[in-house]
Amino acid sequence: MDHHEISDIYLSRHVARNGRLLERSNDPRLRYIGQYIPQDKKSVILDAGCGDGKLAMYWHQRGYEKIQGIDLFDELNTWNTFNYRKASISQTGLADNSVDFIYCLGVILYLDDPAEGFAELYRILKPGGKVVFSAHTVHSPFTWERRLNRKFGGEIHLRDVKFKSADTYVTQSRRVGFRVLDMDGYELLWLPRLLRRVYRKLRQSIFGSGKRDGSAPEPWRKRPSWLKWLYATSAYHMLIALEKPEKT
């Protein structure tokens, strides 16, 4: 898929959603990012492939003043909460060593050569800066389900995507110089869609649905290394944290 196709597909998906809603504070992605995002609210943060900008709006609500979002859309209404410009994660147009922290969720899988994306993120990060990225895991039952749907014309946003393992991404990111800080994931159990919804409703009624008011992300629950490995290899999405070493 070229950039225009991807952008058209996601524009129609975003328009259908209420772009002003923040993500919930118990969203696993926010909880994971919360472990690595710098405490200094003046840090330069890049939301690489920001989609409708809900995550960037959330961090803006948390007090971050310098958030840059990039995606493939010509323009995006950010409600004056962050800066947006059209750029690919493999060619951001940002200066060398200019960004303190990057999160890049569900985007790296769109690159024919993810190594190009890692090299670009490495270039723009300041030494000591960190990246959190996520992607579908190749061995997850969620991905098998999506592949099956794709065969019948569904999942058009994933039409040409080649799913990759966490090991492949980690190898590529190490090659450009990154240090791998952590590998994990979210949503391990596969259930038919209906059961999943029932489970979510049940969980929400027991633990609450998470606040959408920009309150601090709930803490990430640490897992033993074998469980992390299981999540990184076969959960719905892997979550990987990288660091650009201080001395290169």
Ligand X SMILES: C[S@@+](CC[C@H](N)C(=O)[O-])C[C@H]1O[C@@H](n2cnc3c(N)ncnc32)[C@H](O)[C@@H]1O
Give the SS3 label for residue 102.
strand
The helix/strand count (H/E) of the chain reads as 8, 7
- Asked whether the beta carbons of 244 and 173 are under 8 A apart, the reply is no
Measured CA to CA in angstroms, residue 241 lies from 75, 102, 180, 224 at distances of 29, 10, 6, 16
User: Which C-beta is closer to ligand X: that of 57 or that of 232?
Assistant: 57
Residue nearest to ligand X (CB): 51
Closer by beta carbon to ligand X, 107 or else 232 = 107
Shortest CB 78 distance to ligand X, Å: 13
Nearest-approach distance from CB 63 to ligand X, in angstroms: 20
Min dist CB 106 to ligand X, Å, is: 3
Task: State the Cα–Cα distance between residues 244 and 248, nearest whole angstrom.
Answer: 8
Radius of gyration of the chain (CA): 17
Per DSSP, helices labelled H in 24-103 are: 28-34, 54-61
Question: Which one, 163 or 229, has the nearer CB to ligand X?
Answer: 163
CB of 225 to ligand X, least distance (A): 26
Q: What's the burial of 170, exposed, middle or buried (CB within 10 Å: 0-12/13-18/19+)?
A: middle
Q: Of 13 and 198, which has the nearer Cβ to ligand X?
A: 13
Distance between CA 241 and CA 178 in Å, rounded? 10
Chain positions contacting ligand X, by CB under 6 A: 6-7, 10, 49-51, 55, 70-72, 88-90, 105-107, 110-111
CA angle 159, 161, 164 (to 5 degrees): 150
**Least CB distance to ligand X at residue 53 (A):** 8
Nearest to ligand X of 107, 242 (CB atom): 107
Smallest gap, in angstroms, from Cβ of residue 246 to ligand X?
28
89 vs 94, which CB is nearer to ligand X?
A: 89
